[in-house]
Amino acid sequence: MNTKKDSVTGQCRRFFIMLCVIIGIIFCVVLIFNIKNNRIITLSAISNSTQQVNQPNASSTQSPTPESAPVIQMQADSSVNIVTEAAVKLGVLSCVSRINQVATFLTANNQTGVFIFKPQNQPDQHIFSTSFELVRKDNSTLYASASFFPNQDAVYDTVEYVNKSCEELEKTTFKNLKRVSVMKKNIILLDGGKVKVFLMPAGSGTVVIKKEVIQ
Helix (H, G, I), strand (E, B) or coil at 91: coil
- Residues 168, 153: one domain? no
Cα 206 to the center of its chain, rounded Å: 30
Please say if the pLDDT value at position 31 is more than 60: no
Are 124 and 141 in contact, with CB atoms under 8 Å apart? no
Of the residues 110, 126, 158, the one at which a domain ends = 158
Assess if residue 98 is contained within a domain.
Answer: yes
- Residues 35, 106: one domain? no
Helix (H, G, I), strand (E, B) or coil at 104: helix
- Residues 203, 188: one domain? yes
More confident residue, 181 or 31: 181
Helices marked H in the chain — which ranges? 2-54, 82-90, 96-107, 166-171
Are 86 and 112 in contact, with CB atoms under 8 Å apart? no
Assess if residue 27 is contained within a domain.
Answer: yes
Assess if residue 60 is contained within a domain.
Answer: no
Please say if the pLDDT value at position 39 is more than 50: no
Cα 78 to the center of its chain, rounded Å: 14
Give the Cα separation of 164 and 199 in Å (integer).
11
What does pLDDT average to over the chain?
76
Assess if residue 92 is contained within a domain.
Answer: yes
- Residues 72, 142: one domain? yes
Assess if residue 177 is contained within a domain.
Answer: yes
Mean pLDDT of 140-168: 96
Beta-bridge partner residues of 155: 147, 213
Are 199 and 187 in contact, with CB atoms under 8 Å apart? yes
Q: How many domains does the chain have?
A: 3
Using a pLDDT cut of 70, give the percent of the chain over it: 63
Mean pLDDT of 132-159: 96
- Residues 87, 131: one domain? yes
- Residues 109, 144: one domain? yes
Using a pLDDT cut of 90, give the percent of the chain over it: 60
**What burial letters (b/e) apply to 66-77, b meaning 16+ CB within 10 Å?**
eeebbebebeee
Mean pLDDT of 132-145: 95
- Residues 146, 126: one domain? yes
Number of helices (H) and strands (E), helices first, in the chain?
4, 9
Which structural domain range is residue 37 located in? Answer: 7-52
Q: Could you tell me the pLDDT band of residue 54, with boundaries at 50, 70 and 90?
A: very low
Assess if residue 25 is contained within a domain.
Answer: yes
183 burial (CB, 10 Å; 0-12 / 13-18 / 19+) is exposed
- The predicted pLDDT at position 73 comes to 57
